[in-house]
């Protein structure tokens, strides 16, 4: 397994991160039980994955706990707390943040997490996070329950990365999670220069999601982008927008190309892959560790999608 230094955490972690949320939630979103989910985690560890991301909102922390039992020292473990309450969406207090952390530690079967994120923070909630929740995260860090502080954006609603630049300027966070994919590569200009300047670790989400794993979803998204003028309809085959990837002998599928695109982006460190399917996991590990896409493919992708910042790929 290829490894990368995760920014100023200095930790060497696998370039592949197992994402335990998204549309799959280790298969639990489609009815798989926690035993299956834990077996996906164990298989990932067996294959050398050392970065695992989960969150209370995903309902997978217990399964992750089962999967890493007896192997905690092999894992750089990432979980989160939502800055909003489940019911009324009101901002949570410092005490509620700590309650959330304690619940995560219990479900994960550990006494500390390696990175603890504020989960899916929209711009409008960032000030509360910085003023009320970050000081509490630092107290928990001093108590040894959190090694590093992190923040994740709400990419579905913040496709142009409005929140992260301010958070990075404040310099509270050692690690961030950012949406980046070949249809919306806008983090290249808006986020990675800032993380590189401050040596902040980067986790890439939305590499594939639905848009790049479902041809119908891709066609629909590209039709909308053409209609909005973000993609030049003269440059793209709207009935098969990424069909040209198949002309390259070395590219097996759109999903493979999508993970390779992220993995080799300067500034991108861990590429998350979310799946409940062990065959997909194995294929995705190979894709993320494959060489960069050919230069002509990268140029064509940038000609097509280089100006897009309005879709997440959800
Ligand atoms: N704001 C946030 O903090 C936030 C938001 C979203 C995600 N995340 C994190 O980022 C992680 C990654 O996001 P994601 O889970 O959406 O991951 P992703 O890797 O971009 O996309 C996963 C989707 O693609 C499918 N897929 C994966 N491999 C495939 C393959 N080889 N062939 C066909 N389909 C394939 C999966 O279905 P199968 O199960 O069928 O493989 C799943 O529906 C999440 O798991 C979560 O940890 C964080």
Q: Is the pLDDT of residue 33 over 80?
A: yes
CATH topology of domain 3-213+268-291: TIM Barrel (3.20.20)
Question: Which of 115, 213, 261, 269 gets mutated to test ligand 1 (max ligand atoms within 8 A of its CB)?
Answer: 213
Higher pLDDT, 124 or 86: 124
Domain residue extents for the chain: 3-213+268-291
Q: Is the pLDDT of residue 87 over 90?
A: no
Q: What are the CA-CA distances from residue 225 to residues 24, 236, 277 (Å)?
A: 26, 11, 31
pLDDT band at residue 247 using 50, 70 and 90 as cut-offs: confident
Q: Is the pLDDT of residue 102 over 90?
A: yes
Q: How far away, in angstroms, is 44 Cα from ligand 1 center?
A: 14
Q: How far away, in angstroms, is 159 Cα from ligand 1 center?
A: 17
Task: Give the count of beta carbons closer than 10 Å to the beta carbon of residue 97.
Answer: 23
pLDDT digit string (tens) for 250-262? 999 999 999 999 9
What angle is formed at CA 114 by the lines to CA 181 and CA 276, rounded to 5 degrees?
50
Answer yes or no: is the C-beta of 177 below 6 A from any ligand 1 atom. yes
Q: How many alpha carbons lie under 13 Å from residue 87 in its C-beta half-sphere?
A: 0
Answer yes or no: is the C-beta of 274 below 6 A from any ligand 1 atom. yes
Q: For the chain, state the CA radius of gyration.
A: 19
Question: According to the model, what pLDDT value does residue 1 have?
Answer: 97
Q: How far apart are CA 194 and CA 128, in angstroms?
A: 22
Answer yes or no: is the C-beta of 208 below 6 A from any ligand 1 atom. yes
pTM score, whole prediction = 0.98
pLDDT digit string (tens) for 215-224? 999 999 999 9
Answer yes or no: is the C-beta of 314 below 6 A from any ligand 1 atom. no
């Amino acid at each position: 397994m290829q490894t990368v230094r995760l920014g100023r955490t200095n930790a060497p972690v696998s370039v592949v991160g197992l994402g335990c949320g998204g549309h799959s939630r280790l298969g639990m979103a489609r009815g798989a039980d926690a035993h299956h989910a834990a077996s996906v985690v164990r298989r990932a560890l067996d294959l050398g994955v050392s970065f695992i991301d989960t969150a209370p909102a995903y309902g997978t922390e217990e399964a992750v706990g089962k999967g890493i039992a007896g192997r905690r020292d092999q894992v750089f473990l990432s979980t989160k707390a939502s800055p909003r309450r489940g019911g009324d969406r009101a901002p949570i207090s410092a005490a509620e943040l700590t309650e959330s952390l304690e619940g995560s530690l219990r479900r994960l079967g550990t006494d500390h997490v390696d990175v603890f994120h504020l989960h899916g923070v929209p711009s409008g909630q960032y000030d509360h996070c910085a003023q009320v929740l970050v000081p509490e995260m630092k107290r928990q860090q001093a108590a040894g329950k959190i090694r590093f502080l992190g923040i994740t954006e709400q990419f579905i609603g913040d496709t142009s990365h409005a929140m992260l630049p301010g958070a990075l300027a404040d310099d509270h966070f050692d690690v961030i999670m950012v949406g980046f994919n070949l249809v919306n590569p806008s983090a290249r200009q808006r986020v990675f220069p800032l993380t590189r300047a401050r040596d902040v670790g980067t986790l890439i989400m939305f590499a594939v999601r639905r848009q790049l794993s479902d041809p119908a979803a891709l066609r629909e998204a590209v039709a909308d982008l053409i209609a909005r003028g973000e993609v030049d309809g003269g440059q793209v085959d709207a009935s098969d927008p990424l069909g040209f990837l198949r002309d390259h002998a070395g590219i097996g599928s759109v999903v493979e190309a999508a993970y390779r695109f992220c993995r080799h982006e300067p500034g991108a460190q861990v590429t998350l892959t979310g799946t409940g399917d062990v065959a997909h996991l194995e294929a995705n590990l190979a894709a993320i560790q494959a060489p960069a896409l050919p230069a002509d493919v990268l140029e064509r992708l940038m000609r097509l999608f280089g100006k897009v910042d309005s879709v997440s790929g959800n």
